[in-house]
Structure formats: structure tokens, C-alpha cells
């Protein structure tokens, strides 16, 4: 049984347009994200993902398998059959280039504080987290 996972935190800015933000929220509501996209994320080792919003600012928590290699996995994800189509679809809401990959849009954040922190991690390597039972 696995005892650890990796966590990556990312940020992205949406276009500052209330109607576009409303639509972005809608395409990410329950049952609206394309099943192929969710399946592709699971296939590259993403266990769970959450996206939070405040105004036009997004914050993502991405939990992955313990041996997740961010660069390799994001490259593999970008080559999944419908991933490029999804990126073009959601780019109309994002303050990014329409031809940018998910990895280019979502910027890794560096953790600067964790209660009872014992070790520092580079953002690209993610934070090794213990599975609590």
C-alpha cells in the first residue's frame, strides 16, 4: 500500500470579465468537464485535483502518485487525444495564449509555509505528503 503522494500547487489568471468567469465556472461544474480529460489526467498519475477561485484568480491543488515526474507527465498529458482541443476550448476564458499547453498556463507555486514543516521542496518536484489513515 502506498504511504505517500506528491502535491503540486498552481495558479492561473482568467480574463477579468464577469460573464467569461461565470462560463468558466460552468464548464468546470459537476459533470461538465469532458470525461476524456479526466481520464487522461488519471492515466498520467494525477490522483486528485481541486481548483479554487477568487475574482479572476485560480488556485489549483494537484495530488499525484508518489513517483510523479511533473515535466514528463505534463508532456504526456499534452499529447492525449482531446487535451489540445480542451486547452483551446478553455483558453477563451484564460488570460493566456490560445495555443498554450496546460503546463504553460498553470504556473507552479512555491510553498513557503506548512504547519510542522520538516523539509523544503522545489515547486517542480512537488511536496511529498504522507497519506493519513
Percent of the chain past pLDDT 90, that is, above it, reads 68
Per the structure, how many domains does the chain have?
A: 1
pTM recorded for the entire structure: 0.86
What's the CA gap between 71 and 4, in Å, rounded?
20
Model confidence at 126, pLDDT cuts 50, 70, 90, reads: confident
Q: Which domain holds residue 42?
A: 4-130
Give, to the nearest 10 degrees, the angle between helix 83-91 and helix 35-43: 120
Query: pLDDT digits over 52-83, tens only?
Result: 999 999 999 999 999 999 999 999 999 998 99
- The CA R_g of the chain, rounded to the nearest whole Å, is 15
Check: CB of residue 94 under 8 Å from CB of residue 14. Answer: yes
Q: Residue 19: give its domain's CATH number.
A: 3.30.70.100
Percent of the chain past pLDDT 70, that is, above it, reads 99
Amino acid at each position: 500500500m502506498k504511504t505517500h503522494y506528491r502535491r503540486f500547487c498552481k495558479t492561473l489568471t482568467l480574463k477579468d470579465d464577469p460573464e467569461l468567469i461565470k462560463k468558466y465556472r460552468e464548464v468546470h461544474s459537476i459533470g461538465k468537464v469532458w470525461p476524456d480529460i479526466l481520464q487522461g489526467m488519471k492515466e498520467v498519475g494525477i490522483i486528485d485535483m481541486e481548483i479554487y477561485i477568487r475574482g479572476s484568480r485560480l488556485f489549483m491543488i494537484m495530488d499525484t502518485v508518489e513517483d510523479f515526474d511533473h515535466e514528463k507527465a505534463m508532456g504526456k498529458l499534452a499529447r492525449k487525444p482531446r487535451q489540445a482541443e480542451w486547452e483551446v476550448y478553455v483558453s477563451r476564458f484564460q488570460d493566456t495564449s490560445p495555443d498554450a499547453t496546460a503546463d504553460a498556463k498553470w504556473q507552479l507555486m512555491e510553498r513557503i509555509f506548512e504547519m510542522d514543516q520538516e523539509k523544503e521542496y522545489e515547486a517542480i518536484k512537488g511536496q511529498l505528503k504522507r497519506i493519513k489513515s
